[in-house]
Structure 1
Amino acid sequence: MSTSRRERTQDACPGVLRTHPAADGALARLRLPGGRLAPRAARELAACARELGDGHLELTSRGNVQIRGLADGAAVALAGRARAVGLLPSDTHERIRNIVASPLSGRGPGGRDVRGLVAALDEGLRADPVLAALPGRVLFAVDDGSGDLEGIPADLALRAQPGGRTLVCVAGETLALRVPDMVAVPALLAAARAFVDRVAAGGPAASAWRVAELPDGRDQLLAAAAGVAATAGALVADDRPVTPGTSIPGMSTGRSKRPASPGARPGAHAQRDGRWALTALVPLGRLRADQLDLVAGIAERIEEPSVGGDQGTAGAGALVVTPWRSVVLLDLTAAQLADVRTRLAAAGLVVEEDSGWLGVTSCAGRPGCARALADVRRDATRVALAAGAGARRPALPVHWSGCGRRCGQPSGAVAEVVAQPDGYHVRAGSLASSAPFVVTWAPDAPVPVGAAGDGDREPGVVDWSALVDAVTEARELHRRETG
């Protein structure tokens, strides 16, 4: 997504205590630092979605969850229930706990266990009154060193290194600070405070919601982190410039050749302890309450591996929500894997690597958003099912937008399908040479899409064959032009 400065300076990111008024009711967003979700909390979220919302949970590109369709007063009940299961530990800092982390941390074949860093970062954010002023769009990332978070446009990031050291990274900076693990979180929090100070100072920086939107002064954030390291007596061992072509969290080029994260690829992934992780993609990020109940029930019966000789805890860390709109079940035995895969697939979750759902995202569209010109979820579903399974996967993800705002569009190269008054405009958005292909609404549609007074009538229809061809062409164009 673009990181250009915006005219509107008010931070409207929703939480639980401050919801967003949508066309289908209030929308509440709950933060899940590192994507970790205890089975008990998952079951409570499923119950809240059924009893207070529209029966679904939406997974966001930051590994958080949303509940839509809340009636008047339902958000108060949701907040109370979220507190009871540990999902709302702070009223003042609830919207700034945007932390993504490597989903297989401590289990994957590469990288280190960074769950302690995630917990320390979350605790540090909540403990600092100054940081309550952070915009709700600021994103933190904690990479276990495997590089699986490349492509995630983090503002401030930690990346584990060998030998008990961690890189501290600031979006837009070509310097990375290497510090001992014990200093990493304090250094990153110092950079976050420097961002708050830079915005509070006014001037052109006053409207920045993301670090990359600062017109200048990003180096001051890294200097603040270095100051904390120096005060702690930690030698800053590696503040050399990152060489061209090297990606670190928060500096995505959108062209990384590194294999996709296990959290982004449906299917089974081997853990280094001989167990298995299973990633289930949630179509369009819309998880039904009964699907979450199923996943929670499976996680409850998984025993987390023991640490230091202590007995493992059933379900304690077995479920992770990822920024790729998927859920990961960890620590499955080989005997459990086939059964769990079958049950998730039967429930409508994607566990096969060749699904037509791969790389498909969308905004809410009609009827949930008053600005939307089409029911993009319905149309994206029809096109994804038409793509089927087994085909060679296109190189480019595709995002469906109900209007020109392109809400929720992933960063980097993406094929765009944007609803406009005359039809869907389809193009390979990352290529300047790609002119939009317009699939117009059928002339016999009862009213133009988005026309005033159309009420509850169905929006205009398109030539489905032409739309499937246009989306496929846009996704393949990137492969042909970039090699």
Structure 2
Amino acid sequence: MPPPVPSPTPAPGAPRVRERGDACPGALRLHAADDGNLARLRLPAGRLTARQVEVLADAAEALGDGRISVTSRGNAELRGLADGCGAELAPLLAEAGLLPSPTHERVRNIVASPASGLDGLGAADVQLWARELDERLCAAPWAAGLSGRFLFVLDDGRGDVTGLGGDVTLVAVDPRTAHLHMGGRAVRVAAADAPRAALAAARAFLSAARAAGTGAWRVRELPEGHGADARDVRDIRDVREALAAEEVPDPAPPQGPPPAPGPLGPAALHVLAPLGRLTAAQLRALLPADEVRLTPWRGAVVAGTDPARLPALEAHGLITRPDSPWAGVSACTGRPGCAKSLADVRADAVPGRPGLPVHYSGCERRCGHPHGDWVDVLAAPGGGYLVDGAPVPRTGLAPAVTTARTAPRTTR
């Protein structure tokens, strides 16, 4: 079956019209890549139980290429899957609780501050919001109509995930209050009702998308005159009247830094996956733990473990120190897994000295690039790369990337 034809890019000022549903892969809808099939598992707040860690590692070894890719939303991808393996993969995931709703598995896109509740920072434990929101999302039949790209972001007030481009963003203000952001507006909600309000906002988006008739996948794609914003939660019947009575200024808190690799309080730690990929052995090495939370920075927060384990995890090849030159370095799949890529970007990647995040892309789609300020290393036709737009031969990547990562932002 030929791949779906993408919708044409709209003219400047014209609304984008989506003539088909999104083609995002899922755990049940696999994507055919050059290195085999790909399955993407939505993990709300990146959360994995110890049992789920084992199942995911086993599935990667038995059915895939033995690795787990961590996405920029803290989800997990299995690559190199054989044709027909879906019949074996789905029961494994379902038995481990990784497929609570087959009809909703692609819409469980929930990012939450990964260290919330572990390090004493933040105004509320938004990991609890994530679990409630996921339960409500899976229980709402209409929510299956969201696209696989619609994103909920839950920030505990530290600002680490506010800049990740959420369609609906909740920010904890204090233990009893949150701000809900959508469509350039924000309203104050009770913290206890925050997950319900986030779901109501998503429902308001779907109503606006149907009225617009453009097939919008994201809030920002709604055409002028058909927008949805945070105030619309007041029009949803299953939200109490007092839930969102007060509009507040929209700007979310300034984006803060992600947690650095290393200890997170007395019983948790944070590590990064080299170039965003974990071997099955590296994933298992995170255990024992109460739970593992994959992060949007392509790492893992390990809760309920002794930070003294960090040297042992470094021996497994994981990034455990903030001064590691590989901290913040990511790459798309590249060759040979992606037919569109112009280079084997993972083999070519060099870290430079620590500084700004850097992302290696095999083509202009720049799949999986970070948010905020980052160094753009793009494969160029005929060999070589563009580092923030400047041509650089492959052999000159290390000094060019070091300069780009460490130069003052105003000179870049």
* Counterpart for residue 381 of structure 2: 421
Post-superposition CA distance 1:38-82 (Å, at most 9, x none): 011100110000000000000001111000000011122111100
**Residue in structure 2 matching 1:327, options 295, 300, 303:** 300
Displaced runs of 4+ in structure 1, greater than 6 A? none
Indicate whether 1:241 and 2:214 are aligned: no
Equivalent position amino acid for 1:269 in 2: L
Q: TM (normalized to structure 2)? A: 0.90
Query: In the alignment, which of 249, 258, 261 is matched to residue 261 of structure 1?
Result: 258
Q: How do 1:162-181 residues align onto structure 2 when only pairs under 5 Å count?
A: 162-170=174-182, 172-173=183-184, 175-181=185-191
CA contact (8 A) 1:229 1:236 kept: no
Given that 1:211 and 1:218 are in contact with CA atoms closer than 8 Å, whether structure 2 keeps it comes out as no
Q: What's the % identity of the aligned pairs?
A: 46
Paired position in structure 2 for 1:450: none
Aligned residue number for residue 345 of structure 1: 314
Q: CA deviation at 1:28?
A: 0.2
Structure 2 counterpart of 1:467, which letter? L
Q: How far did 1:228 drift?
A: 4.0
| Alignment match of 1:286 (pick from 267, 277, 296) | 277
How has the CA–CA distance of structure 1 residues 16 and 134 changed in structure 2, closer, same or farther, with 3 Å as cutoff? same
Residue in structure 2 matched with residue 307 of structure 1 by the alignment: none
Paired residues of 2:171 and 2:252 also in contact (CA < 8 A): no
1:467 is the counterpart of 2:372: no
Contact persistence 1:177–1:226 (CA under 8 A): no
The yes-or-no answer on 1:37 pairing with 2:48 is: yes
Post-superposition offset of 1:163:
4.7
Amino acid at match of 1:121: L
Equivalent of 1:232 in 225, 240, 244: 240
Q: CA deviation at 1:213?
A: 2.2
Gaps of at least 5 residues in structure 1 are: 249-255, 300-314, 429-435, 441-461
1:230–1:52 CA distance, 2 compared to 1 (3 A): closer
Structure 1 partner of 2:93: 82
For 1:53-202, what aligned pairs fall within 5 Å after superposition? 53-111=64-122, 112-170=124-182, 172-173=183-184, 175-202=185-212
**Offset at 1:133?**
1.0
Secondary structure at the aligned position of 1:176 is classed as strand
Output one character per residue of 1:428-454: Cα deviation in whole Å (capped at 9) or x when no partner: 3xxxxxxx22234xxxxxxxxxxxxxx
CA distance in 1 between counterparts of 2:386 and 2:17 reads 25
Give the structure 2 partner of residue 373 of structure 1.
Answer: 342
Q: Please tell me whether Structure 1 or Structure 2 has the larger radius of gyration of its CA atoms.
A: 1
Give runs of aligned pairs for residues 351-390 of structure 1, distance below 5 A: 351-380=320-349, 383-384=350-351, 387=352
Give me the whole-angstrom Cα distance separating, in 2, the residues matched to 1:231 and 1:103: 28
Whether contact under 8 Å (1:426, 1:471) holds in the other structure is no
Q: Deviations over 1:213-262 (max 9, x none)?
A: 223357534232123489513254541223xxx434xxxxxxx463x122
Distance (Å, rounded) in 2 between the aligned partners of 1:402 and 1:233 = 50
- In 1, the alpha carbon distance for the partners of 2:327 and 2:408 equals 16
Q: Aligned partner of 1:439: which letter? A: V
| Deviations 1:370-402 (CA, angstroms, capped at 9, x unpaired) | 11111001111xx12xx3xxx5x32x3211111
Q: 1:217 to 1:324 in 2, by over 3 A?
A: farther
Contact 2:231 2:244 in 1 (8 A): no
- Label 1:218 to 1:412 Cα distance change in 2 as closer, same or farther (>3 A): farther
Shift of residue 23, structure 1, vs aligned partner: 0.3
Contact 2:219/2:227 (8 A) holds in 1:
no
- Whether the 8 Å contact between 1:187 and 1:224 is mirrored in structure 2 is no
**Quick one: distance in 1 between partners of 2:329 and 2:302?**
22
Shift of 1:424: 3.1
Q: If the length of structure 1 is used for normalisation, what is the TM-score?
A: 0.77
Q: Which whole-Å CA distance do the structure 2 matches of 1:346 and 1:227 have between them?
A: 54
Cα-to-partner distance string for 1:344-386 (whole Å, 9 max, x where unaligned): 0000000011111122111100010111111001111xx12xx
Distance 2:403 2:186 in 1: 39
Task: Give the residue type in structure 2 aligned to 1:157.
Answer: T
Q: 1:349 to 1:361 in 2, by over 3 A?
A: same
User: 2:359 is matched with which residue?
Assistant: 399
Give the drift of 1:157. Answer: 1.6
State the Cα distance separating 1:104 from its structure 2 match. 1.9
In structure 1, distance between residues paired with 2:225 and 2:120:
38
Give distance in 1, aligned partners of 2:17 and 2:340.
19
**CA deviation vs aligned residue, 1:392-430 (integer Å, no higher than 9, x gap):** x32x321111112211112232221111213333233xx
> What code does the residue aligned with 1:476 have?
T
Residue 166 of structure 1 aligns to a residue whose secondary structure is: strand
Choose the corresponding residue for 1:411, options 360, 371, 378: 371
The structure-2 alpha-carbon separation of the partners of 1:438 and 1:11, relative to structure 1 and needing over 3 Å to count, comes to: same
In structure 2, runs of 5+ residues without a counterpart are 1-8
* Cα pair 1:426 1:470 within 8 Å, conserved: no
User: Following TM superposition, by how much is the alpha carbon of 1:185 offset from its aligned partner in structure 2, in angstroms?
Assistant: 2.1
Deviations 1:85-135 (A, max 9, x none): 000011100000010111122222222122331111101111111111111
Q: CA RMSD in A?
A: 2.4
